[in-house]
Amino acid sequence: MAEEQPNSNTVAQEADQEQVVDPWSVSGGADGRIDYNKLLEQFGCSKLTEELVERVERLTGRPAHPFLKRGIFFAHRDLQEILDCYEKGIPFYLYTGRGPSSEALHLGHLVPFMFTKYLQDAFNVPLVIQLTDDEKSLWRGLDIDEARRLARENAKDIIACGFDVSKTFIFSDFEYVGGAFYRNIIRIQRCVTMNQVRGIFGFTQEDNIGKIAFPAVQAAPSFPDCFPHMFGQRKDIRCLIPCAIDQDPYFRMTRDVAPRIGHQKPALIESKFFPALQGESGKMSASDANSAIFVNDTPSQIKDKINKYAFSGGGATVEEHRAKGANLAVDVPWKYLNFFLEDDAKLATIGEEYSSGRMLTGEIKKELITVLTDLVSRHERARAQVTDDVVDAFMAVRPMPCI
């Protein structure tokens, strides 16, 4: 499996244990920050260039999403080939997912779905969304029925992002895996040895056998014949996967296996991590309510969390801040605005004013509170319209002639 895995152990981990990035844990280096250039090298991904972003704009006739323009989605595998397909009228589809472990999503969970919604609209393509409720039972020890319940609750938040039901299939692993999907799982599992899966994911002898088998379950949706109600028996339809870069190990494995079982390699477009309120030292925890803003937080909760917990790069005193300005590289309110403030000119002005010391920490936090309160309010209104019948419609296995 040398082509997709440049190192013998493809979990991005330095010999001195300083930086660790895998699908289940993320921790930064000595300064607490993630070195994304090092990740590109270790994982063997390509940097997403300005030329590729401009090509997306040119082909779709739409402005690039802020996540593209601002380098939040920064890495890719074979994106240029997907754009070649689109330019030639050759179909492709999108695949992303969510591991349901909490009642509501936090803002970091929303990022890939917001971006996937943009991609679906811009390219007018079908989408499959995998809810890995089985994964959360294996890794978190969640009761199976509770994992299934959380999957449906999370589906409501996902649907509230505005996906097109005529082109979108959301499925729970517990409910959907079988038939053509399961046959692909077995084909994948037969191609990956125990040594390989230990090298890719760092599994040990103490891990349960379900964990060792699971990567094939997340890999399988990359192949269109897993969804015969959408694509029939076709194997010639490319897949593009928007995800955070910690999910890359799954798809390095998938890309190595694909040609061996008669499928095309999936392409990926990968994002940086959305930082915890306390700073860029790892992923947010859905079990720590104070590490993140959740989509069901009230305006007062949002205000309190930002004011109390959002790590500031500003000066220790007003005098120091006025003299030296803020360190934008570590400032969480600034980072959050880069994700969610859509106005490029306003964002640039805030960056200049805050880094120079003319804008104070309290002022940028106030700006962020306004932005996030509006975002969460809009999401809550959209989610309130998502009934159980709407969820059933998105999860129904029905003829979907979308290619």
In tens, the pLDDT along 239-261 reads 999 999 999 999 999 999 999 99
Is 287 within the bounds of a domain? no
Average pLDDT over residues 191-202: 94
Is 402 within the bounds of a domain? no
End residue of a domain, out of 277, 308, 340? 277
Confidence band (pLDDT; 50, 70, 90) for 132? very high
Confidence band (pLDDT; 50, 70, 90) for 284? low
Sheet of 46-47, strands arranged across: 46-47, 73-77, 267-271, 238-244, 92-98, 127-131, 168-172
Does the pLDDT at position 9 exceed 70? no
Does the pLDDT at position 317 exceed 80? yes
Does the pLDDT at position 188 exceed 50? yes
Instruction: Using the structure block, give the residue that is written with the tokens 């803020």.
Output: 326
Is 396 within the bounds of a domain? no
Statement to judge: residues 266 and 310 lie in one domain: no
Confidence at residue 6, expressed as pLDDT on a 0 to 100 scale: 42
Confidence band (pLDDT; 50, 70, 90) for 281? low
* Domains contained in the chain, number: 2
Confidence at residue 22, expressed as pLDDT on a 0 to 100 scale: 81
Statement to judge: residues 145 and 223 lie in one domain: yes
Statement to judge: residues 52 and 95 lie in one domain: yes
pLDDT in tens, 14-47: 444 578 888 877 777 767 788 899 999 989 999 9
- For residue 282 the two structure tokens come to 């790892």
Is 291 within the bounds of a domain? no
Statement to judge: residues 88 and 181 lie in one domain: yes
Confidence at residue 1, expressed as pLDDT on a 0 to 100 scale: 43
Confidence at residue 28, expressed as pLDDT on a 0 to 100 scale: 76
Does the pLDDT at position 263 exceed 70? yes
Give the closest residue to 72 by CA, choosing from 345, 340, 348: 340
82: CATH: 3.40.50.620
Is 12 within the bounds of a domain? no
Rounded percentage of the chain residues whose pLDDT exceeds 90: 86
Confidence at residue 341, expressed as pLDDT on a 0 to 100 scale: 97
Statement to judge: residues 152 and 189 lie in one domain: yes
Is 370 within the bounds of a domain? yes
Statement to judge: residues 185 and 74 lie in one domain: yes
pTM of the complete model:
0.92
Is 194 within the bounds of a domain? yes
Q: How far apart are CA 382 and CA 1, in angstroms?
A: 44
- What is the residue-averaged pLDDT of the chain? 92
Statement to judge: residues 55 and 166 lie in one domain: yes
End residue of a domain, out of 277, 312, 327? 277
pLDDT in tens, 82-113: 999 999 999 999 999 999 999 999 999 999 99
Confidence at residue 8, expressed as pLDDT on a 0 to 100 scale: 39
Statement to judge: residues 316 and 260 lie in one domain: no
Statement to judge: residues 156 and 225 lie in one domain: yes
Q: What is the dihedral of CA 186, 191, 196, 202, to 10 degrees?
A: -20
Statement to judge: residues 184 and 125 lie in one domain: yes
Rounded percentage of the chain residues whose pLDDT exceeds 70: 94
Statement to judge: residues 320 and 272 lie in one domain: no
Is 59 within the bounds of a domain? yes
Q: How far apart are CA 357 and CA 327, in angstroms?
A: 10
Confidence at residue 57, expressed as pLDDT on a 0 to 100 scale: 98
Helices marked H in 44-104 — which ranges?
Answer: 50-60, 66-69, 79-88
Statement to judge: residues 172 and 29 lie in one domain: yes
367: CATH: 1.10.240.10
- For residue 250 the two structure tokens come to 């799954």
Q: Which domain holds residue 352?
A: 299-385
Does the pLDDT at position 301 exceed 80? yes
Most distant pair of Cα atoms in the chain: their distance: 68
Confidence at residue 285, expressed as pLDDT on a 0 to 100 scale: 60
Instruction: Using the structure block, give the residue that is written with the tokens 């053509």.
Output: 180
Does the pLDDT at position 216 exceed 50? yes
